A and B are shown apart, each in its own frame.
Chain A
Amino acid sequence: MSPSLQTRLRGALRDWSLPRQLVGADPARQAAESAASRRTRPRLEDADRVGTSICPYCAVGCAQLIYAKGNDVIHVEGDPTSPINQGTLCPKGAATLGWMLNPQRLTGVKYRAPYSDHWEERPLEWAMDRIAQLVKQTRDETFVGHLPDGTTANHTLAIAELGGATLDNEENYLIKKLCGGGLGMVWIENQARV
């Protein structure tokens, strides 16, 4: 007799309701209760830490609690103490877990070479170096110190940055500081207008 079958049968015997029923347990309730039912607990109790977070979708700013075990998020739900959402979430906010754990998420850098018809996986550090070179090269080639009328411009019109309304304020700050204050880019925009 295979061990799996043994364990199954042992389980079946432990969960056998008839004897309990015969000694008077309610066949709709206790007599029918299974081992799993006796065991079950909410998985939030497995979390080893809970972080405070803000819903990443719209601008209402619902507070969320992120439950994690090890480095895995195990659930995301509304923060009941928030005066904005008081624990509730909309369908998007309620899907935050599905977004974070989505198997289709990008987890590595994809690179498409000029005239290529496919993506290639490339190391993150390589991509960072390459992007820095491209930024410098394009800036060097297109930087305008003064306009024809002599006005100082100190800008480049050849590099653009687009996006930011979904980013943290700190991220936007570094973007504006580096691209505007450091590189002289003027094409800096985000979803605020769309």
Chain B
Amino acid sequence: MIEIVPGRQYGFFTDTTLCIGCKACEVACKEWNLLPADGPGLTGNSYDNTAALSATSWRHVAFIEKIGDPSASSGQAPSAGSVQAGGRATSMPPFQSNWLMMSDVCKHCERAACLEACPTGALFRTEFDTVVVQQDICNGCGYCVPACPFGVIELDLLGDGKAHKCTLCYDRLKGGLEPACAKACPTESIQFGELGDLQERAGRRVGELLERGVPEAYLYGGPGSPGATDDIGPLHAFFLLIDRPEVYNLPAAPSLPAKRVRPGLLAGLATIAGLALAAAAAFAAGKE
């Protein structure tokens, strides 16, 4: 049981090599946060019928099938038998491999684009260093939505018209309880804890996996790793992946929108200044 103390940093470490794609996280989240169903129907995209994180789906398990070309999964040559068996792999690289599953969630960024974009202060950073939308403040301006580099936050247009996303179970943390998804996760693929500990554990895990024959293993969102670029990271909800980020619908090197504010405004004002001079000239010249 993790001790939860205000003032410390907490987050998720999602180790996809332990994920069995059961979606308990999705259900536990909805049952705790009382979120309505919003599934898109049968997508035909493997077993993913959630499709994306949304205003009312705060965990999303992605499924990527790689049975067809074993070489793609591990660099291993397909075994003689696998060719016979319709060109599919039969011996798996250690740990989840030929069928990738990954439970996506809000990244609770070190510098959060949604928070920085929020004009009302509805989005704020809690005493646990998580990023939360305060529902008593949000007025549904929706500017946080295109700001997020991970496509996480969204307005609930069918419901209350406010912005929603994972709160890292803010209410539970206040009561010293771990978030619903991490608690439900059967295989400890979703680990909750103090960010420092998690990063340390994750580092060890990567090393261990490299030893055990998973050369593809790396952290996404860990300090200085993909996903944590341009001051966005380290992500407080980070991941251990075994294929390119894009395969899991994650950007390799996202950028921080707020960094574009100052240069943009200055360039704009400069232009206006120039045009003002032109106007001045026009009017001054026009005087008789």
Contact = CB atoms under 8 A, between A and B. Distances in A.
Interface stretch (A72-80, A118-126, A133-141, A156-164): A72-80
B124 A78 contact: no
A36 B185 CA distance: 29
A33 interface: yes
B128 to A, nearest CB: 11
B38 interface: no
Chain B, interface size category, equals 35 or more
Interface residues of A, number: 36
A71 interface: no
Nearest to B132: A37
A72 B135 CA distance: 26
B136 A35 contact: yes
B66 interface: no
A91 interface: yes
B136 A15 contact: yes
Contacts of A91: 22-24, 26-27
B183 A36 contact: no
A88 B136 contact: no
Contacts of A29: 124-126
Contact of A98 (B23, B31, B121, B177): B31
Interface string B1-14: 10000000000000
B27 A88 contact: no
A90 B31 CA distance: 13
Interface of A: 11, 15, 17, 27-29, 31-37, 40-45, 75-78, 80, 85, 87-95, 97-98
Given A15-B136, A32-B134, A40-B171, 7 more contacts: A32-B137, A76-B31, A88-B24, A88-B183, A89-B184, A89-B186, A93-B24
6 contacts: A28-B116, A33-B124, A37-B124, A37-B132, A78-B184, A91-B24
